[in-house]
A and B are shown apart, each in its own frame.
Chain A
Amino acid sequence: MDLILDGITKAFWLLVSFDPEVLGITLLSLKISGSATLISLFLGISAGALVALTRFPGRRFVVGLINTGMALPPVVVGLFVTIFLWRNGPLGFLGILYTPEAMILAQAIIATPIVTGISLAALQQLPAKLRLQILALGATRAQMVWILVKEAKLPLLAAVMAGFGGVISEVGASIMVGGNIKGYSRVLTTATVMETGKGEFDVAISLSILLLLLAYSINVVLTQIQQRERPR
């Protein structure tokens, strides 16, 4: 119990004193996971809309793949991305292994299926005739998709929050492709694992608390948008 209290106290002091290393780690976590979530938002909602609203042979198989993708183990993604980004690997010429960019890539790969799968379900559960009605009002296909996305705002924002949650908490792939390099690719999750490994439990706990606070504050904002009061 003392350990946890120590951790909370340390977290408080780290925050209040704006300890530069911790601040750097926190901002980096936000930057990397934020970018990955943004990318997955665009890719995921587009892909989800495409699959939800069009018919094509093998559609059910594709939906199965997407749903499986939601359960894709992040550490597996990390392993494969590392192998591809190795200097002598197929994408080695990019030279981005052990960089924050590689972490954004890996996290985007983890988050996109999650956002796609939930967007797919969100759009599929809109009334079937709604599409017809929107087209009959004179919408172009693009306008129609935009209106459907707005109508499914509630579950779509849940998709974004799920995607963000999946990557802000991710550690396995981040260590593998990022290298946990001090001041460069070290984020809250990888730092927590490292400090735990070193036995510095109070530091690990304080980092965990910061991570929770960060996740909470982002989700508060997203929840606000999702649940914004409708006109009476």
Chain B
Amino acid sequence: MLNAFYHLLIRDLRLALRNRHELANPLIFFVLVVSLFPLAVTPTAEALQSMAPGVIWVSALLAVLLSLDRLFKQDYDDGSLDQLMLSPNPLMILVFAKVIAHWLLTGLPLVIVAPLLGMFMSLPADAVSVLVYSLLLGTPVLSLIGAIGVSLTVAVNRGGVLLSLIVLPLYIPVLIFGANAVDVAADGLSVKGQLTFLAAMLALAASLAPLATAVALRITASR
């Protein structure tokens, strides 16, 4: 079982590394959107600092949303998804492997460049480290919840709008707590509460989202 999990994870990472231009898309989107903001508004340090948490978090969320399609689309189109569903291993475990691969390829790069963008938006050092922690806890939740949405819409042609409608309401709590943590940290207050809440959401999503995704995939395949 763990063997199948590990091999699927490696297969997805290998496929992504052989297709590098696609890999860079969410990262470039993230960096571009955040760096356009100072050009559009008054670029004073205070103004930038006050909107930085929101801007960075919204851009990260949209970058993940745009990359979600990749999670199951190719496997659905070439029939590999059927083979995953016919595996003697629990589909939930295989789905989990695919979601982890997706996070390593989209969420993690965002977390890594985030400090740079935080400094660029003149966030204080404390807030930059909280930004990294909040994204580290929050982006996996985005991938996990996104997987449920994609598995419901993968069979729909141009299901992008439908996907955002399903997924965005579920993303909002993550956005609120993530951005608020950075905001509060910039004011020099404790962010324990927000980060604990994000961690709780991650635990909840990690335990329930793969199950929901597996069920949704079976529904999609049965049409």
Q: Do A and B come from one complex?
A: no
Interface residues of A (CB under 8 A from B): none
